[in-house]
């Protein structure tokens, strides 16, 4: 089972709650009523891709495990 890292661009998020309606186990509101992931890393088989497609401001993206490792490491091997 592959995993992905959820990233929510809080500058783009308008707090519509669409992602939470689609995947309440993956998203929650932060203190400023913007979406944030419940857990950054989730199984790729979850509803995260539906949430991405339905987000009205395209504020949600995901990184594969390999992309996340490169981003964390800071190198491009």
> Would you write out the chain's pLDDT as a tens digit for each of its 77 residues?
689 999 999 999 999 999 999 999 999 999 999 999 999 888 887 899 999 999 999 999 999 878 877 766 665 54
Q: Indicate the SS3 state at residue 20.
A: helix
**pLDDT value at position 77?**
43
3-67 belongs to which CATH class? alpha beta
| Nearest one of 13, 3, 2, 21 to 59, comparing CA atoms | 13
pTM of the predicted model as reported, rounded to 2 decimal places: 0.82
């Amino acid at each position: 089972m592959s995993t992905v890292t959820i990233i929510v661009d809080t500058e783009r998020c308008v707090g519509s709650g669409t992602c939470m309606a689609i995947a309440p186990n993956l998203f929650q509101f932060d203190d400023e009523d913007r979406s944030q992931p419940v857990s950054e890393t989730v199984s790729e088989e979850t509803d995260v891709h539906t949430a991405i497609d339905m987000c009205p401001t395209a504020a949600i993206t995901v990184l594969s495990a390999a992309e996340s490792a490169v981003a964390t490491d800071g190198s491009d091997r």
